[in-house]
Amino acid sequence: MTIVLNDTVRKLLDSPHPAVLTTLNPDGGPQSSVVWVARDGDELLISTERGRRKERNIARDPRVGLTVFDTANPFSYVEVRGTATLAEDTGREVAVLIAEQYMGPGGGKEYAEAPAENVRLVVRITPTKVLGNAAKAG
Reduced to 3 states (helix: H, G, I; strand: E, B; else coil), residue 84 is strand
What's the number of domains the chain is made of? 1
Residue 46 resides in a domain:
yes
Domain residues for the domain of 113 are 7-136
Global pTM? Answer: 0.94
Residue 41 resides in a domain:
yes
Instruction: Please list the pLDDT of the chain residue by residue as tens digits (138 residues).
Output: 679 999 999 999 999 999 999 999 999 999 999 999 999 999 999 999 999 999 999 999 999 999 999 999 988 999 999 999 999 999 999 999 999 999 999 988 888 888 888 999 999 999 999 999 877 876
Residue 102 resides in a domain:
yes
Residue 1 resides in a domain:
no
Residue 35 resides in a domain:
yes
**Beta-bridge partners for 20:** 34, 67
CATH number for position 39: 2.30.110.10
Residue 97 resides in a domain:
yes
Residue 52 resides in a domain:
yes
Rounded-to-integer distance, Cα 79 and Cα 88, Å? 26
Query: Which residue type sits at 23?
Result: T
